[in-house]
Structure 1
Amino acid sequence: MSTVTRKLTAWLAVSAALFLFSVVSRAQVYYGTVRGTVLDLSGAVMPGVEVVITNVGTNISQRVTSNEVGNYVAPNLIPGIYRVTAEKSGFKKFVADDIQLTATADRRIDIHLAIGSAAESVRVEGGAQLIETENGSLSDVKSREVFTYVPVNAEYRSIWNLVQLAPGVNGAYGHTYAGAGDGGNDGYDTNFTIDGIPVKDGWTGWTMGPTMTYIDSYSEMRVNINGTNASSGQSSEVAVVSESGTNRLHLEAWLHYNAVGFRARDFFDPVSPSGPPTWRPNFQVGGPVILPKIYNGRNRTFFFFSWQGLRGSQSPQTVDLTVPSADYRAGMFPSTIIDPQSGQPFPGNTVPASRISPVSKYYQDTFYPAANTGLNRYRNVKVFAQGNNSYATRLDHKLTDKNSLFFRILVERSVPAGRWDSNNPLIGVASQWRDNYLQVLSDTHVISPTMVNEFRVGHSSDESYYAGPNQGHTVVAASGLQLGNNLPDVPAMPAMNITGYNSLAQTPQGGWLWSTYHLQDSLFVVKGKHNLHFGTQISQYLGTMYPSSPSDVYGSFTFDGRFSGNPYADFLLGLPSGSSRRTSVSPTYPHRLNKEFYVTDDWKVTPRLTLTVGLRYTLLDPGTIAKNVIANFNVTAKALAIPASAQSLVAPEYKVDTPIVTADKVGLSDKLLNIDRNNFAPRFGFAWCPGSSKDLVIRGGGGVYYVGMQPYISDGGDAPYEINQSFTNSVANGQPLFAFPNPFPTAAVQGGSGGFAASGMNPKLSTPYSMQANFTVEKKVLGMGISASVMTTMARHTVFWHNLNAVPANTTPFNVKYASVP
């Protein structure tokens, strides 16, 4: 059994156990609610009336009963079009059609029963919800119709483009919104979910962007600018709902063609844009699951499948390199070249072939193209292909009249996008790929007419890797460089930086794998005028970071003409003026486990006044790096604090003056940060409809909102586990300190490691949070909902950096100032 399989099996086992014990979390990020009061025509409440809420598309119903004060609530309803009916002996049947329910929407449908025969009915039309009458949250909803018909002025028809149309959003264009927020919040205060499952990496707070690239497999997007309900962790949220099948078989296929030449010229550009076009083919199908003579899934089982892709080319890559001329390649120079061994000029200003380093000749002949423009210019152009595929499948099934579930899987895979590395065709094609996966399973169980439970478990992942085309071992063996026997087998290329020429180097490896395992369970209880929610949310974040340090082990070498008088002559002689390298303990494996709990009450004080009160408790893990390869600069001790278990992993080359202490010596755990356990977040909201009409509502609220993840020290590695080493070459009595094929000084003359930038975080750092409030007035006018809102945000305990090397401001003369910490 693989490590991944063992982890997944263990996690599912824990999930199953938690399901047996847990009560709840934030299901309303996906589901909607229909509520109201049953009255007779005199205005008296009517308890014991059965209310049926039916999804018109699937014909699946939820039955609830009005309680002792006439209230009914139907939570956990899939977004769609609904019909609400109510019947009682001696009264006409009540029917409300075309109730358009969006995700997290709270629709109020009051039922007025008139005396008469049950064969008669009173019908009303619901339509879209124009104003919010039940809570104080601020939100903006975009439906599938908006996805389809609103023009998106961008190459990608993505959720990210539509998010910017929501009021209050301050994110920049496209994916940069992943680090921005809405309602005055930053990225740490904004959550991103698909069907209620977070799509954030859980370590840095950045979203798994490609999961929201394609909009056509989703039915709705809601931007909660300021949530007043304790069921939401952050103050703002972007919640996306996937498309589901209905009783009607539906198939669509279309092609989105983007011709760069059709775009308008930017006002400041002299010419219109040009470049290759892209095609985005799309196909989707949904309906009831029907297996002829075996199974008829009408009114019971539904499917939806979509495929969306990208085919086309990247913008042309133009190459314009400065390369050595044919004479320079042969060691012939137009001016005097000094022989570093004798200190005298080379005869004929020519480096003898016997003195040209085999390492340099290999690099020159293998990676420098011959000039094709003038003496020393190489020019070329090429167009590389690009593409990706997104597959989404969803299955909805009604197990019993009281139990239903759905399962969805999303697979998004990119075709590796290639480019000539370092803009040099002979170095080869560097590429990057990125894959995203999302799975969610949800089960809704109607325990009684006044109690509903929803359990949800999900997983999202984001994996990407990029690197240059050459393996380090291959280049070292072919060139003859002597770099030691412990080189990692990774894409790498010792870099040659020659003054006046394009460097010979490739992209170091890089990438990440983020996996989020999420479990939540929601319990909804109706008690008189109170609608109670209880909840818990558990998120396990596992990561793998692929930094550049393994590639950097192979080193970088600089040639500036210090020894011969010409940079390229120094290169041919194999005499770098300086060399550098880095040690590595990568990759690193960060992980953390977050736990959150809440209780909230929507109290219908009067038919026109609703109060929302709640409390959320958040326990955020500062995180751990596998093998504990982290360090935190401790200001009091003026030393790097490290976990005791990581002492053996300190780089032998670490020889700087900053001392090292173990965490226990400075009163810390191996996390190097104290866990803040005082994260209580109260919430309050109200919605009031003054007067006799419900065309006007005054609402608002606010609360305390903690960030989605605790700030962390680092991704692991760095000093004192990874050390940057830099060496300066010199020549004494005709002998260099180092030269090809041994481009680093021997251990006997290595004076020490290079310097490093030590950073630290206050180990007693409190969890950052914001305090936010809003006030809104909404009114129906001419078939529209007009809204005016004011909102305020205040942040507390936010992270800021202080440079301890900076001299504090004071009146002491400059020449005698000293920093507080050296």
Structure 2
Amino acid sequence: MTLNSARIAFALWLAAGAWAQTNVGRISGTVLDPSGAAVPGASVLVMNQDTELSWKASSDARGFYVVTNLPPGTYSVTVEAPGFKKFVRSGNVLVADGRITVDATLQVGDAVETVQVTEVVGETVNTVSGEISRVVDSEQVQDLALNGRNYMQLVTLIPGAALLNDDQLALTTSLSTTGQAINGNRPNTSNVTVDGSFNLDAGSNGSQINNIGVDFIREVQVQTSSFSAEYGRQSGASVNVVTRSGGNQFHGGLFEFVRNEKLDARSFFSPERPSLRFNNFGWSLGGPLIRSKLFFFGGQEWKLIRRYTDVARRTLPTRAERAGDFSVRPGGSLNYPGTSQPIPNRNAAPLITPDGKAIAQVYERMERYAVSYMDTPTGNNAIYQMPNPFDARQDLLRLDYKFNDRHNLFWRYTHDDYDVKDPFGTFVVSQLPTVPGNRVRPAYSLQLTHTWVATPRLVNEAKGNAGWHSQRVFLIGQDWKREPYGFQFPQLFAGGGYYPDGIPDVSVSGFSSFRGPTYYVSTSTDISFRDVLTYIRGAHTLKAGFQATRNRKDANGRPPLTGNVTFNPSGNTRTTGNAFADALLGNFRTYVETEYDPLGMFRFSQYDAFVTDQWRIARQFSVEIGMRFQAILPAYAVGNNLANFVPALYDPAKEVTLTSSGLIVPGSGFIYNGLIRAGDGVPKDQLGRIPDGNSPKVLSVPAGAPRGLYKSSYPLAPRFSFAWAPFKNSRTAVRGGFGLFYDRNDLTGIVQGGLPMPPFAESLQYENGNIINPTGGSPTARGAFDTIRPMDPEMKAPYSMNYSLSIQRQLPAGLFLETAYIGNQGRHFMRQPDINQPAFSVLRQNQDLPAAQRKVTNALRPYKGYSQILMRLADANSNYNALQVYLTRRKGRVTMTAAYTWAKTLTDASSNSEASEEPFSRRFNYGPASFDRRHVFVSTFNLKAPTPFKSFALSRAVLGGWELSGIARAQTGPYSSVSANTDIGTRRADYIGGDVKLPAGERTVNRYFNTAAFAAPPPSRRGNTGAGIIEGPGLQLFDFSIRKQFRIREGKTLRFQGDMFNAFNGANLRGLSTNVSSRDFGALTASGPGRNVQLGLRINF
């Protein structure tokens, strides 16, 4: 353990305790006599059947009792009262934050007599609150076929969850939590916890700190709507993973699961089955250290995956084109730069520059890595599928200790090690494998919880949690270096960061791009402390709590230090008419280079408080009322090395003058016009770490912006829910609720926006020049600043308004049905439009001028001296309306769940980074969200086959112990907009008539929709199509698992398991091309993984 780890651990042990999410539940009920009258003063004993720990209560004047703060488990409830027989009901399964009702109708008789009710209770009607929540129980966790053995797949089994990525193995290796969208919320708004403690990297809110192994999980709980004021760090669903604990009996196991491509099928576009070696093995053990007092559970797991990347179809210039001969490419012209004079024989070989030859050499080198290459001037003429190995290890240890009837302690330690090698780079991804990276990510979490039962009616819970990781990405190999290729162009800024000898990023229109090297560091630590007090007074269960969170995130900006070059004939006054010929001659459309790669040491604090009242107004009617307060303080940089662009501070009288080629006229205006620095300057103790932190150029920019660039928020979030049981048998409940849920924006905005910002890190952009001399011959000439991403200083905290109305019904044969209307309104979510985009009319007028008179785009922008200004605005809205139906059976030989969702999610921005052709019109962008799936059906089943001829040992051995389980999924596809390339950029296409959808019998891989219904718009206006007009293909997946259990001896079993993912090898086509100008317009260009087979062996005792 590192020194930093030790410090955090020591701080936790000293802490008074805290709590991020509740991990306990309650059992309540009413004690009645045979006539239905209340029995006051009855003694109630609730006992955990695994640990034999017990809790006591008594019924009040209305016969009502409640026992709170119970850990998940299976419980028995014993009720005794003078003059009545003892009542015992066992098999009551309580989940994390569960609220189950166990009513007791006592029979007149001697107290020594017992009325025993023993059953495995399935899902029960919730008559206590109106929250919408689901639980994936331990049987599903252990028995379902999980691709990659990743628990996040379980989150997709509930109503309202749309699967966004069917490559579950890729989600496993990436640690992502954004493979699904729940109830119309953005994928990165879910709050993921382990045993109630935060388990996300706050940088993206979409990556886990620890990916808990499925063999260490008791259950997964997902709260989706109208839940208690006790929760609220994020605005979306709350996903809580509950780890297993020890009991009074020793239980453990050894397991290994393997996969090999020889058992698999190829995907639709793959020429052959990709190589795969998957080994997942480990052990677990739990039991008592001191019987009925101290319990432990621990285990280790390894995942060793030797796989290949998905098939990547890329476009390379032909070998002749790399030598300058374009005669083989049909159509088009090849002219001398900036003229209409044709180059003889379309052969530019005599004009190739040393740097153009170097670019050709990169493509030459990249051809060698292709699985197949066709030397033809066609798209997608190269196919790549490269090794993508992944190694992971996890250690977990949990202790549960009961000091006495009043004090309990829970402690958990988790450690993960991840090592992933990606041939196309990590986070900064290249289309060609020039920058293979090695992602190394050790991660830890510690949790300590203390429960104090001061009296049977007053309980205090305190929890402390810390989760942290230290992530680095290192380059592999030498393909990222300049020297082997022969690059000669000089860099604008000396140094070049961590990789000064790296190649530039190169993007050639019509061909696959490649990236140069980028250093990556990202560490994260999240510490939270919370105390919750529960007080029972009559029919009221009152809760109040406080939480303090401290987060630290260190990350660098990762700008293009070695240069970023774009070759595109559109708007290029020096073009030959062919983008790759421009590259050979070095005539770029844009060239960008950044001075420094700044490091930001980001910190933020957040304070939350809540109060709730669970009020049982009548025996059949309950409400829960609550209020949550949040102090959301923006993240700031310790060194104050952040800056922001504020339009209100931009002074037109100080604007710079640009030439028609986009260069700033020396001495004209103030180049930092509109910028403001964070805080009151760089602290003295940080000057050695921040380049030029006290230089004249930095000090020329005024200070005084908030340290986090925008204001803090202090919202109040009311919550209300009710539950009404209209019939006395409590088998039916009508439930509803409403609540406000506020979100904390991820740190990506400030890392990518406020950090790589002038004056601390200048990134200059030049247009229409030659790579050997980007500044046009004047060493003092400056281009405009490259893309900046400022924050709106008036940014508000995003929030969603959740509301629901549902009916639950307990059906015969152990079935449970819930039908619900779920609604969600999102407000103030982030988007990033380009507020410096020239008006359409300005672009049109400029393009209509003779070529020699046209200005470059940067000379036309309203804020002079800047290129794109992708302003992070919190003004995006969304709405979600859904019918959700849920049917489940959780007891018996056949158990199942079935979830159907009919929903619509509309928004004007689907993600924080979404820009738009029309930045100032949210109506123009309003349409189906990118994660909208109108119809989603998912079902699970588990069948335990009976043993025929049980009296025969051979029959028991061969025919007994068979089980079959599976997951069936069908959902409609995503929505896309149709675009077209024009002489002033990419715009929406025109709809020109006809049915957009093709009949099912006419759809093909190459023409999925009616392409004849669209055309490029005329030059005079924007296209008339709306957002999300095309619905893509849906998804059908069937995963099965078959198991055979052999009994070795009493208490010991051997289980063989065979899993099939995508068992019927469905194509699951995707990658719909929706650009009218593309040669693939209307085609499906990618597919999901083919059938995979997994074999497993487990010894349990």
TM-score (normalizing by structure 1): 0.79
Shift of 1:417: 1.8
**Alignment partners' CA distance in 1, 2:515 and 2:188:** 36
Distance in 2, matches of 1:780 and 1:370, equals 62
Instruction: Report how far residue 217 of structure 1 moved.
Output: 1.7
Match of 1:197 in 2: 197
**Conservation of the 8 A alpha-carbon contact between 2:42 and 2:59:** yes
Residue 167 (structure 1) aligned to one of 146, 159, 170: 159
Aligned to 1:103: 96
Structure 1 residues 501 and 786: alpha-carbon distance in aligned structure 2, compared to 1, 3 A threshold: closer
Task: Verify the 8 A CA contact 1:804 1:819 in the aligned structure 2.
Answer: no
Give the drift of 1:303: 2.2
Partner of 1:333: none
Q: Which residue, 303, 310, 316 being the options, matches 1:309?
A: 303
Are 2:28 and 2:100, in contact at CA under 8 Å, matched by a contact in 1? yes
Instruction: State the 1:254 CA deviation.
Output: 3.0
Aligned with residue 128 of structure 1, among 118, 122, 147: 122
Note the 1:32-111 alignment, pairs <5 A: 32-111=25-104
Deviation track 1:601-633 (CA, whole Å, cap 9, x = no partner) reads 111111111111111111111211231222222
Deviation sequence 1:482-505 (CA, Å, 0-9, x none): 767645345861338698999886
Tell me whether 446-455 or 255-264 shows the greater mean CA deviation.
255-264
For 2:736, give the aligned amino acid.
G
SS in 1 for 2:215: coil
| 1:519-534 paired onto structure 2 within 5 Å | 519-534=529-544
**1:276 corresponding residue in structure 2:** 275
Aligned partner of 1:87: which letter? Answer: E
Structure 1 window deviating more from structure 2 (140-149 vs 198-207): it is 198-207
After TM superposition, the structure 1 stretch with the greater mean CA deviation from structure 2, 433-442 or 632-641, is: 433-442
Structure 2 residue 562 is matched with structure 1 residue 554: yes
Are positions 1:621 and 2:633 aligned together? Answer: yes
What residue number does 2:707 align with? 670
Residue 55 of structure 1, CA deviation: 0.9
What CA distance in whole angstroms lies between the structure 2 residues aligned with 1:710 and 1:699? 33
Structure 2 CA distance, aligned partners of 1:243 and 1:504?
46
Distance 1:578 1:97, change over 3 A: closer
For these two proteins, the number of residue pairs brought into alignment is: 766
Question: Normalising to structure 2: TM-score of the pair?
Answer: 0.61
What's the CA shift for 1:57?
A: 0.9
The DSSP-based 3-state class of the residue aligned with 1:636 is helix
State the SS of the aligned residue for 1:675. coil
Structure 1 counterpart of 2:539, one-letter code: K
Could you tell me which of 820, 823, 826 is aligned with 1:792? 823
Q: Residue type matched to 1:204 in 2? A: S
Q: In the superposition, relative to structure 1, how do residues 614 and 320 fare at CA in structure 2: closer, same or farther (>3 Å)?
A: closer
Deviations 1:678-715 (CA, angstroms, capped at 9, x unpaired): x1111111111113221111111112221244888521
Instruction: Tell me the CA shift for residue 443 of structure 1.
Output: 1.6
1:595 aligns with 2:607: yes
Partner of 1:342: none
User: What are the Cα deviations for residues 537-581 of structure 1, in whole angstroms up to 9, with x where unaligned?
Assistant: 2221211223323xx333467999999999999999999999652
Q: CA 1:301 to 1:644, structure 2 compared with 1: closer, same or farther past 3 Å?
A: closer
2:661 aligned with 1:640, yes or no? no
1:705 is aligned, of 721, 741, 761, to 741
Q: How does 1:448-527 map to 2 (within 5 A)?
A: 448-469=455-476, 486-490=495-499, 493-495=502-504, 506-527=516-537
The percentage of counterpart residues that share the same residue type is 22
Aligned-pair distance for 1:36?
A: 1.8
Per-residue deviation, residues 228-273 of structure 1 (Å, max 9, x unmatched): 321121452111111112222222233333344545666xx37786
Aligned to 1:683: 719
- Counterpart mapping for 1:32-431 below 5 A: 32-125=25-118, 127-152=121-146, 155-173=147-165, 174=168, 175=171, 178=178, 181-187=181-187, 189-208=189-208, 211-212=210-211, 214-233=213-232, 234=235, 236-260=237-261, 262-263=263-264, 269=268, 274-290=273-289, 296-297=290-291, 299-315=293-309, 383=387, 385-419=389-423, 430-431=437-438
Distance 1:7 1:81, change over 3 A: closer
For 1:401 and 1:306, the matched residues in 2 are separated by 32
Shift in Å, 1:769: 1.7
In structure 2, relative to structure 1, the CA distance for the partners of 1:273 and 1:191 (3 Å cut) is farther
The yes-or-no answer on 1:605 pairing with 2:617 is: yes
Query: For residues 801 and 316 of structure 1, do their structure 2 counterparts lie closer, same or farther at Cα, with a shift above 3 Å needed?
Result: closer
SS in 2 for 1:749: coil
| Residues 775, 782 of structure 2: 8 Å contact kept | no
Q: Given the superposition, is the C-alpha separation of residues 315 and 362 from structure 1 closer, same or farther in structure 2, using an over 3 Å criterion?
A: closer
Separation in 1, partners of 2:279, 2:58: 49
8 A contact 1:60–1:300 mirrored in 2: no
Deviation at 1:43, TM superposition (A): 4.0
Q: Say if 1:50 and 1:671 are closer, same or farther in 2 by CA, change over 3 A.
A: same
Structure 1 residue 641 displacement after superposition:
2.2
Cα-Cα RMSD: 4.9
Instruction: Give the partner amino acid of 1:662.
Output: P
Q: 1:471 to 1:365 in 2, by over 3 A?
A: closer
Task: Decide which of 430, 433, 446 is 2:453's aligned counterpart.
Answer: 446
SS in 1 for 2:708: coil
Seen in structure 2, the aligned counterparts of structure 1 residues 88 and 505 have a Cα distance that, compared at 3 Å, is: closer
Kindly indicate whether the alpha-carbon contact (under 8 Å) linking 1:324 and 1:501 is maintained by their aligned counterparts in 2: no
What's the CA shift for 1:35?
A: 1.2
Tell me if structure 2 keeps the 8 A contact 1:663–1:669: no
Supply the distance in 1 between the matched residues of 2:839 and 2:258 (Cα, whole angstroms). Answer: 59
- With over 3 angstroms needed to count, the CA separation of the structure-2 counterparts of 1:142 and 1:225, relative to structure 1, is same
The verdict on how the C-alpha distance between 1:538 and 1:371 changes in structure 2, with shifts beyond 3 A counting, is closer
Task: Please say if residues 498 and 571 of structure 1, whose CA atoms lie closer than 8 Å, have aligned partners that are also in contact.
Answer: no
Contact 1:453 1:524 in 2 (8 A): yes
Distance change (3 Å), C-alpha of 1:556 and 1:620: closer
Which secondary structure state, in structure 1, belongs to the residue aligned with residue 476 of structure 2? coil
Which residue does the alignment assign to 2:909?
none
Shift of 1:391: 2.6
1:537 aligns with 2:544: no
1:87–1:350: structure 2 CA closer, same or farther, 3 Å change rule?
closer
Deviation at 1:194, TM superposition (A): 1.0
Deviation at 1:755, TM superposition (A): 2.6
Find the aligned partners of 1:728 and 1:81 in 2 and give their Cα distance.
Answer: 69
Give the Cα separation in 1 of the matches to 2:727 and 2:589.
84
Give the Å deviation of 1:774: 0.8
Using the alignment, how far apart are the partners of 2:595 and 2:406 within structure 1?
60
Matched with 1:719 is 757
- SS for the counterpart of 2:214 is coil
Instruction: Provide the rounded CA distance (Å) in 1 between the counterparts of 2:78 and 2:488.
Output: 83
CA contact 2:678–2:706 (8 Å) conserved in 1: yes
**Matched residues in 1 for 2:189 and 2:384: separation?**
47
Structure 1: segments with no counterpart, 5+ residues = 291-295, 330-337, 339-348, 731-736
What is the alpha-carbon distance in structure 2 between the residues aligned to residue 445 and residue 814 of structure 1? 74
Displacement after TM superposition at 1:744 (Å): 7.6
* Structure 2 unmatched ranges of 5 or more: 325-335, 337-347, 651-673, 849-859, 865-1101
SS in 2 for 1:160: helix
**Structure 1 residues 350 and 505, CA gap change in structure 2 (3 angstroms):** same
Stretch of structure 1 that moved more, 637-646 or 690-699: 637-646
**Contact 1:472/1:554 (CA < 8 Å) preserved in 2?**
no
Q: Are the aligned partners of 1:620 and 1:710 in contact in 2 as well (CA < 8 Å)? A: no
CA shift, 1:184, in A, is 2.5
- Aligned residues of 1:246 and 1:287 also touching (Cα < 8 A): yes
Note closer, same or farther for the CA distance 1:651–1:756 as it changes in structure 2 (3 Å cut).
farther
